[in-house]
Chain A
Amino acid sequence: MIRIEGLVKHYGDVKAVRGINFEVNDGEILGFLGANGAGKSTTLKIMTSFLSPTAGNVYVNDLNILDHSLEIRKQIGYLPELNPLYTDMRVYDLLEFVAKIRGITGKSFKQAMAKVVEQCGLEGVVHKQVSALSKGYKQRLGLATAIIHDPKILILDEPVTGLDPNQIVEIRELIKELGREKMVIISSHILQEIEVTVDRIVIIHDGSIVADGTRDELMAGFLGKTQLTLEIKNASEVSLGKLSSEIEDVSVVRIEPVHGNHFVVMEYDKHHDPRETIFNLAKSENWVLLEMNPKKTQLEDIFRKLTLKGGAHA
């Protein structure tokens, strides 16, 4: 388990992370979400000992990052955002280098090597120079260097950014597969990239955590009013007034006449679904109901709401 406690990081005057707390459980795939510059990478860099916190601490089981950095680094596999690789080396040599530092040599290295090459789909490029690889292959190689020691904890900083849609699907599948037996933390600034992969989402904005929960919990917590769009034929403006006067707990946002029909936009509380009442009303008023379309709140909307400028500190 990883526990982040009161983590603060200042770069000079810039407060990148302003005291955040959250936990990640074993076997969990956590999505760490935030706009660019929200403090995601900084947090991950502290967790992986690349940076030291200004205040606060990160605990991995009973070890902490300030006193047991080396032990924690042994347990973590990390793919940095910019995926820096020694471009002068060949793929094989780079993996061998990382494995050696991880203490994997001889027979166990051969096994580990064969495993990551297969997992990350590096078969065709093992003897190529790293500088000659395409972005997609570089990303796979970065992932391979992160998992060659079969770490319990895997931290991936924007692993799919800049990949083409097919590569995104491949990497996503791989992450899901890895997530079956490991704790995985994936950061991203694009929600759809990780929405389907992760068990839980933590949203960071302007250096503070603004949401933490499963997809459904977030949806439930932020689900406000649902918007309902109606298109009605054969109705007069006057009779449409009944929509608000005869149905409880709805508010009509606007009524627009379009080509002889009327578009009605209304909002309702999710516990008071008015659709049946509207249908009955239409029947008794002899309206022709051409369309009735509730627009569900998407996770994307929540994310945007939370991470718009000033959202958290306003």
Chain B
Amino acid sequence: MRNIKTVYLRELKFFFNSPMAYIFLVIFSLINGYFFTNTFFLINQSDLRSLFSIVPLVFLFFVPAVTMGLIAWEKNSGTIELISTLPVKDTEFVVGKYLSGLTLILVGMAFSLVHFTTLLVVGTNIDVGAVICGYFGIVLLGAFYSAIGTFASSVTDNQVVAFIIGITVVIVFFLLDKVLIFVPAGFSGILQYISVEYHLSNISRGVIDSRNIIYFGSMIWLFLSLTTRVVEIRKWR
């Protein structure tokens, strides 16, 4: 546990000591702000629905961008030799890295709370429950995509390649829901269950079902354990 924290804090410092984190946060907030204010002023709607519908699209690119360097950079600069000859378990290393990437994404989301505050101050008939559910779904989505991004970062020492792999895998999960009509009926049930949209829409509708939480939990677990395996395999090649 202590090692996870040490790896995690180092990585966070790395983010915030470089322009990367700030660029990410500013652009992310600008995009969120644009979509929020659009409906807020133009349509006079006091909810965050349009924000919650755009964030999954933004995440498609942003999460792989944030996570692409997590492990690939260590491999590229050789510091993986420093960290992996210290008494740190591969799991601790992977989880620490993952959590730091996830934290940056959550900080980005936290900035959007300013829109929620605006709603509370000037809006009427605000459905607080829907907003909380919306945020809950987004957090789970960010956690899932971060796990995919961490995995993508572990399979290569090139950040650009990690980014492309990350986007590809994320988009596959995102689009699965949209191709259901093209697959045989028996198959579509399974695909639908795997697709992220199915679970996310449940949650943002306000239905927090254990099935959806188990889905996100097990997907995160799957990708993080795959990452750990990849980190281990490097030694045997």
* Chain A residues proximal to chain B, CB less than 8 Å: 11-12, 45, 48-52, 70-71, 73-74, 76, 78, 80, 82, 84-89, 93, 97-98, 100-103, 145
Per a CB cutoff under 8 Å, which of A45, A74, A85 touches B87?
A74
User: Distance (Å) between the CB of B173 and the closest chain A CB?
Assistant: 32
Known: A52-B236, A97-B10. A82 touches B81 (CB 8 A): yes
By the criterion CB–CB under 8 Å, are B18 and A48 in contact? no
By the criterion CB–CB under 8 Å, are A88 and B18 in contact? yes
By the criterion CB–CB under 8 Å, are B85 and A49 in contact? yes
By the criterion CB–CB under 8 Å, are A50 and B85 in contact? yes
A51 partner residues in chain B, CB cutoff 8 A: 235
Q: In the complex, given contacts A50-B81, A87-B77, what are 8 additional A-B residue pairs having Cβ atoms less than 8 angstroms apart?
A: A45-B81, A48-B85, A71-B87, A80-B82, A84-B78, A86-B79, A100-B6, A101-B7
Give 11 pairs: A residue, B residue, CB < 8 Å, sorted on A. A12-B237, A49-B84, A52-B235, A76-B85, A80-B82, A80-B85, A82-B78, A98-B86, A101-B6, A101-B7, A101-B86
Q: Which residues of B (25-39) have their CB < 8 Å from a CB of A?
A: none
By the criterion CB–CB under 8 Å, are A70 and B87 in contact? yes
Q: How many residues of B contact A (CB 8 A)?
A: 24
By the criterion CB–CB under 8 Å, are A102 and B82 in contact? no
The 5 closest A-B pairs by CB, nearest first: A84-B78, A52-B235, A73-B87, A48-B85, A84-B79
Q: In the complex, A52→B90 CA distance in Å?
A: 14
**When A and B form their complex, what is the total count of cross-chain residue pairs whose Cβ atoms lie within 8 Å?**
65
By the criterion CB–CB under 8 Å, are B85 and A73 in contact? yes
Known: A49-B85, A51-B235. A89 touches B13 (CB 8 A): yes
- Closest residue to B237 on the A side, CB-wise? A11
Known: A50-B81, A84-B79, A86-B79. A73 touches B86 (CB 8 A): yes
By the criterion CB–CB under 8 Å, are B17 and A102 in contact? no
**Interface residues of B, dominant DSSP:** helix
B18 partner residues in chain A, CB cutoff 8 A: 88
Q: In the complex, A174→B181 CA distance in Å?
A: 71
Q: In the complex, A103→B7 CA distance in Å?
A: 13
B10 partner residues in chain A, CB cutoff 8 A: 86, 89, 97
Q: Which residues of B (1-44) have their CB < 8 Å from a CB of A?
A: 2-3, 6-7, 10, 13-14, 17-18
Known: A88-B14, A100-B2. A50 touches B84 (CB 8 A): yes
User: Distance (Å) between the CB of A94 and the closest chain B CB?
Assistant: 9
- B89 touches A (CB below 8 Å): yes
- Closest residue to A46 on the B side, CB-wise? B235
Q: Give 1 or 0 for each of B212-237: 1 = CB within 8 Å of chain A CB.
A: 00000000000000000000000111
User: Distance (Å) between the CB of B32 and the closest chain A CB?
Assistant: 28
Q: In the complex, A80→B87 CA distance in Å?
A: 15
Q: In the complex, A12→B88 CA distance in Å?
A: 27
